[in-house]
Amino acid sequence: MPKEVIDSIEQEAADALEGEWGNPKAGDPNQVDLIDLETDADMVSIDVFNRAILLIQEDSEDIQRIHRVCGVLESAAFAGWDQSARQRGES
Protein backbone atom coordinates (compact mmCIF):
# COMPACT_ATOMS: atom_id res chain seq x y z
CA MET A 1 0.00 0.00 0.00
CA PRO A 2 1.38 3.46 -0.83
CA LYS A 3 2.81 5.46 2.04
CA GLU A 4 0.45 8.34 1.19
CA VAL A 5 -2.55 6.10 1.88
CA ILE A 6 -1.18 4.81 5.18
CA ASP A 7 -0.25 8.35 6.26
CA SER A 8 -3.72 9.66 5.39
CA ILE A 9 -5.49 6.86 7.27
CA GLU A 10 -3.33 7.52 10.34
CA GLN A 11 -3.47 11.32 10.15
CA GLU A 12 -7.26 11.38 9.78
CA ALA A 13 -7.71 8.67 12.46
CA ALA A 14 -9.95 6.85 9.98
CA ASP A 15 -10.51 3.91 12.32
CA ALA A 16 -12.53 6.21 14.59
CA LEU A 17 -14.91 7.00 11.70
CA GLU A 18 -16.37 3.50 11.54
CA GLY A 19 -20.01 3.21 10.53
CA GLU A 20 -22.49 4.46 7.95
CA TRP A 21 -22.46 8.05 6.80
CA GLY A 22 -24.87 9.87 4.53
CA ASN A 23 -28.22 9.00 3.01
CA PRO A 24 -28.37 6.24 0.39
CA LYS A 25 -31.53 7.84 -1.03
CA ALA A 26 -30.15 11.39 -1.32
CA GLY A 27 -28.85 11.15 -4.87
CA ASP A 28 -29.57 9.68 -8.25
CA PRO A 29 -27.31 8.06 -9.22
CA ASN A 30 -25.95 7.13 -5.82
CA GLN A 31 -22.31 7.62 -4.94
CA VAL A 32 -21.03 4.94 -2.58
CA ASP A 33 -17.61 4.79 -0.94
CA LEU A 34 -16.84 1.60 0.96
CA ILE A 35 -13.66 1.56 3.01
CA ASP A 36 -12.59 -1.54 4.92
CA LEU A 37 -9.52 -1.12 7.13
CA GLU A 38 -7.89 -4.11 8.73
CA THR A 39 -5.92 -3.32 11.85
CA ASP A 40 -3.92 -5.68 14.03
CA ALA A 41 -6.91 -6.08 16.32
CA ASP A 42 -10.02 -5.45 14.26
CA MET A 43 -11.75 -4.79 10.94
CA VAL A 44 -13.18 -1.31 10.54
CA SER A 45 -15.80 -0.50 7.88
CA ILE A 46 -16.72 2.99 6.73
CA ASP A 47 -19.69 3.19 4.35
CA VAL A 48 -20.31 6.61 2.84
CA PHE A 49 -23.39 7.33 0.73
CA ASN A 50 -23.52 10.36 -1.57
CA ARG A 51 -20.38 11.98 -0.19
CA ALA A 52 -20.71 15.15 -2.29
CA ILE A 53 -24.22 15.79 -1.01
CA LEU A 54 -23.13 14.91 2.52
CA LEU A 55 -20.32 17.49 2.36
CA ILE A 56 -22.79 20.20 1.41
CA GLN A 57 -25.46 19.22 3.92
CA GLU A 58 -23.37 18.43 6.99
CA ASP A 59 -19.86 19.80 6.38
CA SER A 60 -18.57 18.55 9.75
CA GLU A 61 -14.93 17.84 10.57
CA ASP A 62 -15.63 14.09 10.51
CA ILE A 63 -17.12 14.32 6.99
CA GLN A 64 -14.12 16.35 5.85
CA ARG A 65 -11.76 13.70 7.30
CA ILE A 66 -13.61 10.96 5.41
CA HIS A 67 -13.50 13.05 2.24
CA ARG A 68 -9.73 13.54 2.54
CA VAL A 69 -9.13 9.79 3.04
CA CYS A 70 -11.37 8.98 0.05
CA GLY A 71 -9.45 11.49 -2.06
CA VAL A 72 -6.11 9.89 -1.25
CA LEU A 73 -7.52 6.42 -1.94
CA GLU A 74 -8.96 7.58 -5.27
CA SER A 75 -5.66 9.17 -6.29
CA ALA A 76 -3.73 6.02 -5.43
CA ALA A 77 -6.22 3.82 -7.30
CA PHE A 78 -6.17 6.11 -10.34
CA ALA A 79 -2.35 6.13 -10.43
CA GLY A 80 -2.16 2.40 -9.74
CA TRP A 81 -0.53 0.88 -6.67
CA ASP A 82 2.52 -0.32 -8.60
CA GLN A 83 3.05 2.97 -10.42
CA SER A 84 2.79 4.90 -7.17
CA ALA A 85 5.45 2.67 -5.57
CA ARG A 86 7.76 3.02 -8.59
CA GLN A 87 7.48 6.81 -8.44
CA ARG A 88 8.77 6.71 -4.87
CA GLY A 89 11.62 4.39 -5.83
CA GLU A 90 10.14 1.35 -4.03
CA SER A 91 9.88 -2.11 -5.55
The per-residue pLDDT for range 5-43, each reduced to its tens digit, is 999 999 999 999 999 999 999 888 889 999 999 878 889
Please report the pLDDT score of residue 91 as a whole number.
45
The tens digit of pLDDT for each residue in 38-70 reads 878 889 999 999 999 999 998 899 999 999 999
Order of strands across the sheet with 43-49?
Answer: 19-22, 43-49, 32-38
Please report the pLDDT score of residue 78 as a whole number.
84
- Phi (first) and psi of residue 18, to 5 degrees: -55, 145
Please tell me the total number of residues recorded for the chain in this structure: 91
